[in-house]
Amino acid sequence: MKHIFNQNQPEFHPACELFPAMSDEEIRALAEDIKENGLLEPIVIHEGEILDGRCRFEACEFTGVEPRFVEWDGDGSPTAWVISKNIQRRHLTASQRAAIAVELLPLLEAEAKERQRLSRGKGVKGAKDCSISTGKASEHAATITSCSSTTVEQVKRAKTNAPELVTEIRNGLLSAKNAADLSELPEEKRQNVLEKARKPKAKVARLIRQAELDYKEEQRKASKTNILLPETSDVQIWQGDCLSLMREKTEPKSVDVVVTSVPYNVGIKYDTYKGQSR
């Protein structure tokens, strides 16, 4: 199937959009450089989509310079190629690389399935052609993004609990560990921490730790004041003088079991404790 690239309505390869976009100021600066020096590196397309050069394309559009395009002619995984190229080009933290690795997984798995499909009937040669992509996708993603499995697992935990936090990792606001810890808190507390974290010189780890402590304290207080019963429970709780309530609320011989914790100070003489008479 032949894919046609439409410059007027460009589409972007999913791997191309995994990296943080340039700010408007950065795009303007790039546009000025292209206007003065020309487009030094062409925009790479693959199967009708921009594979590499999204920001260069936007800068050309901004400044009115006609962009140059070349077709990707590499072997193996186009996703792995564009990730490798941009990982070297950009200054990303380990957490940002891990976030990209997590987002890469479905792309690599899809490529693996497609390569397996295309290799059917090609024998040993076909198997070799798809060997890169048919490996374990998660390991391959961690390898090509140069990050540890621990950091990847932290991002995956954050994505499972609170998917919106992955964007904050990619934008550099949160580390993978901070995002994983923050994802365990209720949404209201997460939003409160994020609001404070965006302020200049904010200590994000300290904010999360304080939010965790506050949440634990709230739970502790709630456990003391609230008695949780099943919705279908027949249990009733009475508060008051035990003797008066029992005479008022119960019929003679209607109680099957009484669970107590002595002493109750009801005038009974104990071996080691003397109850107070009423």
Q: What is the mean pLDDT of residues 139-164?
A: 88
Does residue 263 form part of some domain?
Answer: no
CA-based Rg of the chain, rounded to a whole angstrom? 32
CA distances (Å), origin 276, targets 30, 66, 156, 261: 87, 97, 61, 16
Decide which of 277 and 87 is more confident.
Answer: 87
Overall average pLDDT of the 12-29 stretch: 85
CATH of the domain at 15: 3.90.1530.30
CB of 170 within 8 A of CB of 96?
yes
pLDDT at residue number 207: 96
Give tens-digit pLDDT for 30-39: 999 999 999 9
What is the maximum alpha-carbon separation in the chain? Answer: 100
pLDDT digits (tens, 9 = 90+) for 157-175: 999 999 999 999 988 999 9
pLDDT, mean over the chain: 81
User: What is the C-alpha to C-alpha distance for residues 148 and 248, in angstroms, rounded to an integer?
Assistant: 68
Tokens 């035990």 -> residue: 242
169 in a structural domain? no
In a domain? residue 20: yes
Domain residue limits at 24: 1-73
Between 2 and 115, the higher pLDDT residue: 115
Is 90 a member of any domain? no
- The tens digit of pLDDT for each residue in 178-210 reads 999 999 999 999 999 999 999 999 999 999 999
For residue 276, the tally of other CB atoms under 10 A from its CB is: 9
Residue 42 has pLDDT above 70, yes or no: yes
Number of domains in the chain: 1
In whole angstroms, what is the distance from residue 167 CA to residue 208 CA?
17
Query: What amino acid is encoded at 225 in this protein?
Result: T
- pLDDT over 60 at 73, yes or no: yes
